[in-house]
A and B are shown apart, each in its own frame.
Chain A
């Protein structure tokens, strides 16, 4: 609680008048906010602000950092919920939002938004509604994506409020409704700009209902006249509008500008990228100009335009008479010059705006004063091109024309003021201000006194109100303006040049706008018919003042003061008008750029030179505005629709007018005038309405300021683009230069190429000549060659013939040779045959002789044979019979033999089968035998193992027995020794040693030792008996006798020798070997080594025994 109280104190200290205290407390709060994350502090601050609306608290709240935004929004949500605190909460919200805090994106999710919407839907207080709507409009471009959820809420609100504007429920005052209407109008623009498809479909559905038709006709339709068809209506769709992707790449100010783009309302619209269509431009021209004049509250830039309040009448006149002018004033050497003047007249605001504010028009400048200048310009105009380039010279000329008509002598004077007046202005700006105030006021007063406030007077009032509300800012602006003015004057010399540079683009710009002329002319004509009287009257009345103002500033203050003593508050507007009056065509653009970018004049000039396009745009816009305004003013009464903003403007103007009037009237007599004089209503009520109005105006102002900031943002970005484009152009120029250089290069190269080509052709010719020469040579040589070839051909054929001949001859030779050979052969054959035949003849003779001999012999034998033929036949028959018998016998024998063979074969078969059976049997037998053998072997093995076991058993037994024996003998020997102690020691010793050997052997060794040395064990057993009979005993005795003196070590040798003797004489001691055979038969006699060890041990024992005994 203490802390709470502390905070309360601190909060109240925030408003302390001491600046240092305030700063300290603010710092403390910021620190607290940084360290503390709780909502308490924020809540306190908000409460305090709602109570007192103190500025430091507001400052703290609007700069809250991230973690506190939630508390702040929650708190504001609370406050908006409560009717009492709704209005201050909304205005706080507006303040916060306009600063675009980094957490603005959270607004769409915050509960505050729905509650705000709800409030807008249900609340009936116009002030709250207006404030809320403005806040909502400000907020919308920051949270475009949230449209999805709340779109219909927005539309509902729009529907509700638009119907409100018409129906005026309850006791709402008209004045409030104007504000509300303006804000609804802004909401319309925002919604249409951001969600055209959805919005149009809403309008369609909402106003198709009959009960809403009136509202549509009265409220919505006029609004629609101020917007263009949104391109999204053609290309987009409902869903596409709500697509977050569409909004993602647009920043807040982008959205604002987007919305402004589709507006046709001069106060709302913005033209950039040159996308506005020329007819439209022309249509707006006069209207815009008038608008500028009428609404100085926008900013100085616009207020510049207001300066053009001068010669409306004159301009009108000029317009009417322009066709005839050019020949008079100018003797144009070129068509271009001819074309330019009318354009110049067209746009020049001095002529257009003169109608609205006649008083300060330079057109009223007295002829005498302007004479010198007119002379100068007249000469220049007559010469046609006195100032150098024709592009720069025209500006003065066209300006002259309009005025020229009105006051022929002043023709050039109107053109000169720009320069001259600037100088004078800059020299004494303060003075100017002062003395102009009354002028303007005076002008305004006149219509006011008549009882009706003209539109032209509104800006003055508005400006007053604005200056009242934030005088600080105004003061600043003022300071800036004055500063700039001084700069302009100092840079006067330079200014001349930039102006020329500036002018040229300007005129270029106006060229395409030719058609405008007719439009404006028409509109102006229209306008003239409407309100010629006030203008004329004002002109007439105020005419004398104007010259003083322009050219004799010192005199003016007196006049001014005399006319309007309480001009303090109008100072602003008048100042501006004053500054700008002289040459609206030249200064406004400069000024606008200068103020917008905050650049000093020298830079400006560069800027304009570098960026003709923007300047051109700007100027275009400017002129458009002016024209539009003029037109709007002119046609005010019967224009189909008037922007609600304008109505508001007018209202304000009116209010200001009335206010000032009253003030003027009352200030001098006494300040304590009864307030009831003003409105007739009780003061408290009056004050309240005024306050509310003030509040509403403030809201409006803040909203407009927000828009301006967005525009400034936008401008900055565009400027960046522009500079970039300029850089690119520079680059292009550089590239062009390079290109030129390269073209030059190319030229030189081309020349050299030609040279080379000529040389080349020469060479070519030379070469051709050479070639033809060589060709002829070649032809000759070929001819020669052919001749030689023919010759060789002939020779060749000859050679061939010779060869053929030779071949034929050779063939003949061969034939002849063969013939010779053949004949030789035949000859030899014949000779041989001859010899053969001779020998055959000889043989034949011999054979014939033999034949004769044999024939004789044959005859002899034949005789013999006939003698012996009778006795041979019997013998043959006998022999045949014998043969036959013998054959039969043999046949039977064969039969017999066959039979025998058969039987034997059968027998063999039988026997073979037998044999097989036997074999099989044998195999079985063998198998069985094998089986049995195996079985038997198994049994045998078992038996053998049993036998083995038995053997082991018996061995164990033997061992046991031997052991027992050993013990027994030892006992008995010991006894004997004792007995025979007295007897012959030597013998006893010998025997003892011998016995000991045996005994100890048997005792110490295991089974193996005993079996391995049967010979030693036997003598021990025998030795124990009467030993003289035993062979061993004897042998041992002998041995011991022989070696009684020998060393003990040798005993082992003797023993082994002993055993050997035993083996060699087995039969000699059968008794002694009774037990030995099994051991001798043992397959593995154990090695003697353990024995010897044992004996060694025994010997030791013996020796010790010796020594004892």
Chain B
């Protein structure tokens, strides 16, 4: 294989001594060098390894379909996207739906609403739950991506993916969560059951918002790498890992309300570890993805 010959011969040992992600960047570059990008390979890569942050936006855009697989058309398509963004923004300004003072995330929301034809007539129209989800995700993405056009498009496509691709699988996640928690720590599960907190856990926060607002963006984007590349099951393992990490505190709490409240506001400091452990757990239970569609 030509790829192998180009790679560093030490790469085999890097993993053994615990340096992960040294070689990933190079292999990702090799992948990105292809004209007509292989979406499947990119998916597999992003599921198996953490994405280098400098390529994250690009990979996401490709995976979410914002950019076509051909390098040639990138510029033109990007131009289209930008124009579209400007047009929509302009239109909103024209109808005075947004002003200069409107916060960026709300602008994104109105743009999304406009594009999906759900723009409310008056700005005081109350927000629906899906709008809340959008706002949370938008807030998270805004932190991750600088360019507002990219930002808008990533939000839009991410939300669309959640609404279309994961429409069926998202409601199944709580059950999967229960199952894996039982495998990992049945005592904790029984504690939750006795507190009748199992049904009151913040599933919306975890699965609908994909932990937006729950985890800091630096760790969140590693989770979203997996979500974007087509696996929403990682969310379950993040949730399980959160419970395992804060097991002692959760065990100490006896009422469902307190548990829910605690889980909605978990401490941020250990999030990186949680995510790493969750990814390990995910790999352990679902196997390392080889070539999954």
Asked if B73 contacts A938 (CB within 8 A), the reply is yes
The reply on A710 being an interface residue by CB < 8 A is no
Asked if B70 contacts A934 (CB within 8 A), the reply is yes
Q: Enumerate chain B residues within 8 angstroms of A939, measured Cβ to Cβ.
A: 68, 73, 76-77, 80
- A939-983 toward B: CB 8 Å interface, digit per residue (1/0)? 101110110111011011101100100000000000000000000
The reply on B170 being an interface residue by CB < 8 A is no
Asked if B119 contacts A956 (CB within 8 A), the reply is yes
Which residues B56-73 have CB closer than 8 A to chain A?
68-70, 72-73
Identify B95's interface contact among A938, A948, A960, A1006, CB under 8 A.
A960
The reply on B84 being an interface residue by CB < 8 A is yes
Q: Enumerate chain A residues within 8 angstroms of B92, measured Cβ to Cβ.
A: 956
Identify B77's interface contact among A938, A948, A963, CB under 8 A.
A938
Q: Enumerate chain A residues within 8 angstroms of B36, measured Cβ to Cβ.
A: 931, 934
Asked if B70 contacts A946 (CB within 8 A), the reply is no
A298–B92 Cα distance when bound, in Å, is 139
Asked if A934 contacts B87 (CB within 8 A), the reply is no
Asked if B68 contacts A934 (CB within 8 A), the reply is yes
Asked if A938 contacts B88 (CB within 8 A), the reply is no
Q: Enumerate chain B residues within 8 angstroms of A953, measured Cβ to Cβ.
A: 87-88, 90-91, 114
The reply on B117 being an interface residue by CB < 8 A is yes
A961 CB to closest chain B CB, in angstroms?
Answer: 10
Asked if B70 contacts A938 (CB within 8 A), the reply is yes
The reply on B280 being an interface residue by CB < 8 A is no
Asked if B91 contacts A946 (CB within 8 A), the reply is no
Asked if A948 contacts B115 (CB within 8 A), the reply is yes
A749–B177 Cα distance when bound, in Å, is 95
The reply on A752 being an interface residue by CB < 8 A is no
Asked if B114 contacts A952 (CB within 8 A), the reply is yes
Identify A949's interface contact among B70, B95, B115, CB under 8 A.
B115
A926 CB to closest chain B CB, in angstroms?
Answer: 15
Asked if B70 contacts A952 (CB within 8 A), the reply is no
- Most chain B CB atoms below 10 A, which of A937, A938, A959: A938
Which residues A985-1012 have CB closer than 8 A to chain B?
1006-1007
A953–B86 Cα distance when bound, in Å, is 11
Identify B69's interface contact among A938, A942, A960, A963, CB under 8 A.
A938
The reply on A935 being an interface residue by CB < 8 A is yes
- Most chain A CB atoms below 10 A, which of B36, B68, B83, B88: B68
We find that the number of chain B residues with CB closer than 8 angstroms to chain A is 24
Q: Enumerate chain B residues within 8 angstroms of A945, measured Cβ to Cβ.
A: 80-81, 84
The reply on B1 being an interface residue by CB < 8 A is no
In the complex with contacts A943-B80, A949-B84, A935-B68 CB distance below 8 A: yes
- B145-185 toward A: CB 8 Å interface, digit per residue (1/0)? 00000000000000000000000000000000000000000
Q: Enumerate chain A residues within 8 angstroms of B68, measured Cβ to Cβ.
A: 934-935, 937-939, 941-942
- Most chain A CB atoms below 10 A, which of B69, B83, B84, B114: B84
Asked if B114 contacts A931 (CB within 8 A), the reply is no
Q: Enumerate chain A residues within 8 angstroms of B83, measured Cβ to Cβ.
A: 946
The reply on B17 being an interface residue by CB < 8 A is no
The reply on B248 being an interface residue by CB < 8 A is no
Asked if A957 contacts B94 (CB within 8 A), the reply is yes
A943–B72 Cα distance when bound, in Å, is 15
A1007–B121 Cα distance when bound, in Å, is 9
Asked if A931 contacts B117 (CB within 8 A), the reply is no
Q: Enumerate chain A residues within 8 angstroms of B80, measured Cβ to Cβ.
A: 939, 942-943, 945-946
Q: Which residue of B lies closest to A936 (CB)?
A: B73
Q: Which residue of B lies closest to A950 (CB)?
A: B87
Asked if A935 contacts B95 (CB within 8 A), the reply is no
Which residues A452-491 have CB closer than 8 A to chain B?
none
A1010 CB to closest chain B CB, in angstroms?
Answer: 12
Asked if A952 contacts B117 (CB within 8 A), the reply is yes
Which residues B97-143 have CB closer than 8 A to chain A?
114-115, 117, 119, 121
A588–B276 Cα distance when bound, in Å, is 109
Q: Enumerate chain A residues within 8 angstroms of B114, measured Cβ to Cβ.
A: 949, 952-953, 956
Asked if A935 contacts B84 (CB within 8 A), the reply is no
A464–B68 Cα distance when bound, in Å, is 141
In the complex with contacts A946-B80, A949-B115, A935-B91 CB distance below 8 A: no
- Most chain B CB atoms below 10 A, which of A939, A943, A948, A955: A939
Q: Which residue of B lies closest to A938 (CB)?
A: B68
In the complex with contacts A942-B81, A949-B88, A957-B95, A935-B121 CB distance below 8 A: no
B95 CB to closest chain A CB, in angstroms?
Answer: 5
Q: Enumerate chain A residues within 8 angstroms of B95, measured Cβ to Cβ.
A: 956-957, 959-960
Q: Enumerate chain B residues within 8 angstroms of A943, measured Cβ to Cβ.
A: 80
Identify A935's interface contact among B72, B88, B115, B117, CB under 8 A.
B72
Asked if B117 contacts A946 (CB within 8 A), the reply is no
Q: Which residue of A lies closest to B117 (CB)?
A: A952
Q: Enumerate chain B residues within 8 angstroms of A1006, measured Cβ to Cβ.
A: 121
B68 CB to closest chain A CB, in angstroms?
Answer: 3
B229 CB to closest chain A CB, in angstroms?
Answer: 19
Q: Enumerate chain B residues within 8 angstroms of A955, measured Cβ to Cβ.
A: 117
A952–B83 Cα distance when bound, in Å, is 14
Identify B70's interface contact among A931, A956, A957, A1007, CB under 8 A.
A931
A112–B165 Cα distance when bound, in Å, is 99
A50–B117 Cα distance when bound, in Å, is 123
Which residues B185-229 have CB closer than 8 A to chain A?
none
A928 CB to closest chain B CB, in angstroms?
Answer: 11
Q: Which residue of B lies closest to A944 (CB)?
A: B80
Q: Enumerate chain B residues within 8 angstroms of A950, measured Cβ to Cβ.
A: 84, 87
Q: Enumerate chain A residues within 8 angstroms of B73, measured Cβ to Cβ.
A: 935, 938-939
Q: Enumerate chain A residues within 8 angstroms of B115, measured Cβ to Cβ.
A: 948-949, 952
A941–B68 Cα distance when bound, in Å, is 9
Q: Which residue of B lies closest to A937 (CB)?
A: B68
Q: Enumerate chain B residues within 8 angstroms of A963, measured Cβ to Cβ.
A: 121
Which residues A1003-1030 have CB closer than 8 A to chain B?
1006-1007
A1069 CB to closest chain B CB, in angstroms?
Answer: 29
Q: Enumerate chain B residues within 8 angstroms of A960, measured Cβ to Cβ.
A: 94-95
Q: Which residue of B lies closest to A954 (CB)?
A: B91
Q: Enumerate chain A residues within 8 angstroms of B90, measured Cβ to Cβ.
A: 953
Q: Which residue of A lies closest to B95 (CB)?
A: A960
A939–B79 Cα distance when bound, in Å, is 10
Asked if A935 contacts B70 (CB within 8 A), the reply is yes
Q: Enumerate chain B residues within 8 angstroms of A959, measured Cβ to Cβ.
A: 95, 121
Asked if A946 contacts B84 (CB within 8 A), the reply is yes
Q: Which residue of B lies closest to A949 (CB)?
A: B84
In the complex with contacts A955-B117, A956-B119, A960-B95, A949-B87 CB distance below 8 A: yes
Q: Enumerate chain B residues within 8 angstroms of A942, measured Cβ to Cβ.
A: 68, 76-77, 80-81, 84
B255 CB to closest chain A CB, in angstroms?
Answer: 44
- Most chain B CB atoms below 10 A, which of A948, A952, A963: A952
Which residues A304-333 have CB closer than 8 A to chain B?
none
Q: Enumerate chain B residues within 8 angstroms of A949, measured Cβ to Cβ.
A: 84, 87-88, 114-115
Q: Enumerate chain A residues within 8 angstroms of B84, measured Cβ to Cβ.
A: 942, 945-946, 949-950
A953–B91 Cα distance when bound, in Å, is 6
Q: Enumerate chain B residues within 8 angstroms of A931, measured Cβ to Cβ.
A: 36, 70
Which residues A74-100 have CB closer than 8 A to chain B?
none
A939–B70 Cα distance when bound, in Å, is 10
A931–B73 Cα distance when bound, in Å, is 11
A955 CB to closest chain B CB, in angstroms?
Answer: 7
A565 CB to closest chain B CB, in angstroms?
Answer: 110
A480 CB to closest chain B CB, in angstroms?
Answer: 86
A956–B77 Cα distance when bound, in Å, is 24
Q: Which residue of B lies closest to A1007 (CB)?
A: B117
A147–B94 Cα distance when bound, in Å, is 121
In the assembled complex, 8 residue pairs joining A and B whose CB atoms fall closer than 8 Å, in A order, are: A939-B77, A939-B80, A946-B84, A949-B114, A950-B87, A956-B95, A956-B119, A960-B94
B→A interface (CB under 8 Å): 36, 68-70, 72-73, 76-77, 80-81, 83-84, 87-88, 90-92, 94-95, 114-115, 117, 119, 121
3 pairs of A and B residues whose beta carbons are closest in the complex: A938-B68, A953-B91, A942-B80
- Additional pairs, 7, CB under 8 Å, beyond known A938-B73, A939-B76, A949-B88: A938-B68, A938-B70, A939-B68, A942-B68, A942-B84, A950-B87, A956-B95
